[in-house]
Amino acid sequence: MSHPIQAAEFLQDQAKSKWHDETLWFVRDKRDKISKSVPEWENLRDLASQIKDNVLANLGKYLEEFEKNAKANNIHVHWAKDAEEHNRIVLGILQEKRCKAIVKSKSILTEECHLNPYLEKNGVEVVDTDLGERIVQFLNQAPSHIVLPAIHLKKKDISEIFHEKLHTEKGNEDPDYLTHAARIHLREKFLSAKVAITGVNFGVAETGEFVVCTNEGNADMGVHLADVHIACMGIEKIIPKRAHLGVFLRLLARSATGQSVTNYTSHFRSPSPGKEIHIVLVDNGRTAQLARPKFKNSLKCIRCGACMNTCPIYRRSGGFSYESTVPGPIGSILSPGIDLQKHSSLPFASTLCGSCTDVCPVKINIHEQLYEWRQEITKAQPDRAKSLAMKIANGVFAVPFAYNLSGNMMRGALKILPDSITYSGLNTWGKQRDLPELPKESFKDWYKKNRK
Amino acid sequence: MPENKKHIALFIPCYVDQFYPKVAIATLELLEKLGCQVTYPMGQTCCGQPMANAGYERDTVATTKHFIRIFKDFDYVVAPSGSCVLHVKEHAPAIAGMEKEQSELHDKIFELTEFLTDVLKIENIKGSFPHRVGYHASCHGQRGLRLSASSELNQTPFNKAKQLMVNLEGLEWVELKRKDECCGFGGTFAVSEEALSIQMGKDRLADHQAQQVEILTGGDMSCIMHLQGIAKRNGNPIQFKHIAEILNEAIS
């Protein structure tokens, strides 16, 4: 299915889609307020963007530096060219440790690699320990938002699923009560897991350490109780120096949720005696994106989710409407690089309003890349023009006046609107909107009479 | 030579020419009242934006060449549309052999309100417009041309349209709850994502209605055409005017 169909379905439940819009707007508004409390906010964004420019221009160098320093810290470093290799590496470590159950804190990369189903297929129980992720895992769903995985669900939904899975009281929707139940449930899982998997927010080349940010402390709880910590990291998460963390950490939580900093910002540098840390560095299409000059800036993303919260489309269509691991504006510029055919409707799921670009803490020109993907997609899908023309048929561009538009414009327009002038069926514009009243004469006619 | 004695070309977007001649007339009359010498080059067609935003920028080379030829000899080009001006500046394809003319055009083409505030240096306009007015900031004017401060950015507040209107006698300027949220027009988006487009439009209208707006105005008729179309279909009594119409009426 394509985005317009999914979006229309999401909008069927008017009350829920309104609530979704308002909830995410509330987060966006918090972000606005806190970002304005930092006088140097725009300078920080510039700086973060420039640091990432340097990273992308020297990615190989920083990754090798990171590997060298991490190894010196007794971290095992693995390289995965794609999702499959990543999953095999993780499974290999688990099999070596004879581990049948793991706990995992939030990692969009492991979602991208579809690690959970792979491990489950191979007999490993996976427990997502981020509360929102645990909720969607109970429902066998993917996260609908990269920071707020269960934002598409309401208290009532969560009460129902907890009643079924955790035997909480039927109908009890009290957040404290439900959170407490989740805590007891997760604590058992933490205590029994030999291996903990986390994502990585930042890998520091200079020191070989990496940083994981959470609000719930679940990454730390998992890692400190387990013997083995496997950290899965996209290769673009590298930053050159520890000092650069000061820039990114100030931007990340403020952009994501309007907090000044995440509750837990945990640095992992070397394993405790008797324990192991493994880091899996994953490409999975990133170097291909790096080779696309118009789109490589998308790799600056620090996964804050601010572009989702601000996007008037995302807020009203929900994360699932994008049918990609990373939804929203940033997902719409990352996903076509992975599978152009599958994700071809995403760059068109935008009015190019530009709000995503203005909230982005690392200044990715998201809406400009959406525009550029459109240019690529129309080359790859020649039939697109025809279907678009059908939709526009009888609408704004197809009034008889259009004949008056002379010369070059019509020659250009006819390429994409071949049937629109004569086609008289579906009128998508007019389904829920009136057309403007047609004036007696065009401005051109008026001008001829009145000014010359 | 004072700026208003220079030779100004009026660029009227194709759909404004066809659907909203009154907006084009208001723009022309307003500039004339402010002492400008304005010509409407008759050969003008379209800037090519509908095709480019749909993914066919490469098919607008001839349109762009024509546009440059039509407007290259004027001192300024002024249009009552932020969206079309942004397209000319940022998305029209580079034309080989016309680099100089194209680059000069980018520097001399202006959306109407920015031409008034930045080139003519008008602090505010004297006149009367006793109505409660809500301003719809079109995204391309807002975040493309930076016609007012964006709510997303940490910057000193400014708003070129407000600057021009706020001192008009009797005008009540309304602050919206979401001052620069998109209306959902988005060119072909309006039909390719019809359900979302309509919902976004309804939500924008509701914000204006909640503040008891009498007249909704803005710098882009494309947004207004969309919002007005939804309002009319739903029997919403709110009125719509381009900012050029308000300023032109206010002065007379």
The answer to whether the CB atoms of B189 and A351 lie below 8 A apart is yes
Please give the average per-residue pLDDT across A404-428, as a whole number: 45
B residues 112..131 contacting A (CB < 8 A): none
Rounded Cα–Cα distance for residues A268 and A278 (Å): 11
Rounded Cα–Cα distance for residues A186 and A128 (Å): 9
Domains B3-119 and B132-251 are alike in CATH topology: yes
The answer to whether the CB atoms of A439 and B20 lie below 8 A apart is yes
pLDDT digits (tens, 9 = 90+) for A136-188: 999 999 999 999 999 999 999 999 999 999 999 999 999 999 999 999 999 99
The interface predicted TM-score of the complex, written ipTM, equals 0.96
Strand B132-136 relative to strand A195-198, pairing? unpaired
B177 touches chain A (CB under 8 A): no
Domain regions of chain B by residue span: 3-119, 132-251
Among B56, B187, B194, the residue with its CB nearest the CB of A431 is B194
For chain B, give the percent of residues with pLDDT over 90: 90
Residue A268's nearest CA partner among A113, A81, A76, A109 is A76
Domain regions of chain A by residue span: 1-37+303-381, 38-284, 385-451
pLDDT digits (tens, 9 = 90+) for A98-128: 999 999 998 999 999 999 999 999 999 999 9
Q: Outline where A97-217 has alpha helix (H).
A: 108-112, 115-121, 131-138, 155-166, 175-192
Tell me which of B17, B148, B156, B178 to substitute to probe the interface with A (most A C-beta atoms closer than 10 Å): B17
Q: Given 3.40.50.10420, 3.40.50.2000, 3.30.420.40, 2.40.50.140, which CATH number is that of A38-284?
A: 3.40.50.10420
Cα torsion B173, B179, B181, B185 to 10°: value is 10
pLDDT digits (tens, 9 = 90+) for A336-378: 999 999 999 999 999 999 999 999 999 999 999 999 999 999 9
pLDDT digits (tens, 9 = 90+) for A174-233: 999 999 999 999 999 999 999 999 999 999 999 999 999 999 999 999 999 999 999 999
Looking at chain A, the number of H-run helices and the number of E-run strands are: 21, 10
Instruction: Give me the total of CB pairs closer than 8 Å, taking one residue from chain A and one from chain B.
Output: 217
Rounded to a whole number, what is the distance in Å from the CA of B201 to chain A's nearest CA?
A: 10
- CB-side neighbour CA atoms (13 Å) of B68: 22
Tell me which of A308, A396, A401 to substitute to probe the interface with B (most B C-beta atoms closer than 10 Å): A396
- Top-confidence residue, A452 or A442: A442
> What's the sign of the alpha-carbon dihedral A410, A411, A416, A422?
positive
Topology annotation, domain B132-251: Rossmann fold (3.40.50)
Which top CATH class is B3-119?
alpha beta
* Chain A positions in Cβ-Cβ contact with residue B226 (cut-off 8 Å): 433
Rounded to a whole number, what is the distance in Å from the CA of B129 to chain A's nearest CA?
A: 25
Strand partners, A195: A102, A228
Please give the average per-residue pLDDT across A435-445, as a whole number: 90
Q: Are A434 and B232 in contact (CB under 8 A)?
A: yes
A residues 359..398 contacting B (CB < 8 A): 359, 371, 374-375, 377-378, 384-385, 388, 391-392, 395-397
Instruction: Note the pLDDT of residue A101.
Output: 96
Q: State chain A's mean pLDDT as an integer.
A: 92
Tell me which of A317, A351, A405 to substitute to probe the interface with B (most B C-beta atoms closer than 10 Å): A351
Instruction: Note the pLDDT of residue B45.
Output: 87
